[in-house]
């Protein structure tokens, strides 16, 4: 899993959650982009 190495970098539970939320946000934006690209194509 991609998340594993990032988990070790996070020292606290709060940092861990922030990293996970960041990854989720990136994924969401990527999905929106893919939908937009498909609409144009």
Q: What is the per-residue pLDDT for 7? A: 56
Give, for all 41 residues of the chain, the pLDDT tens digit: 555 555 556 678 888 889 889 999 999 999 999 999 999 87
- The three-point CA angle 19-20-23 to 5° equals 90
Domain region containing 8 = 3-40
Q: What is the per-residue pLDDT for 36? A: 93
**Burial status of residue 6 (CB atoms within 10 A of its CB: 0-12, 13-18, 19 or more):** middle
What is the number of H-type helices and E-type strands within the chain? Answer: 2, 0
The number of distinct structural domains making up the chain is 1
The model carries a pTM of 0.54
Q: What is the per-residue pLDDT for 12? A: 86
């Amino acid at each position: 899993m991609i998340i594993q190495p990032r988990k070790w970098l996070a020292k606290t539970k709060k940092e861990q959650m922030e990293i996970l939320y960041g990854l989720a946000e990136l994924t969401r934006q990527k999905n929106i982009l893919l939908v937009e690209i498909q609409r144009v194509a």
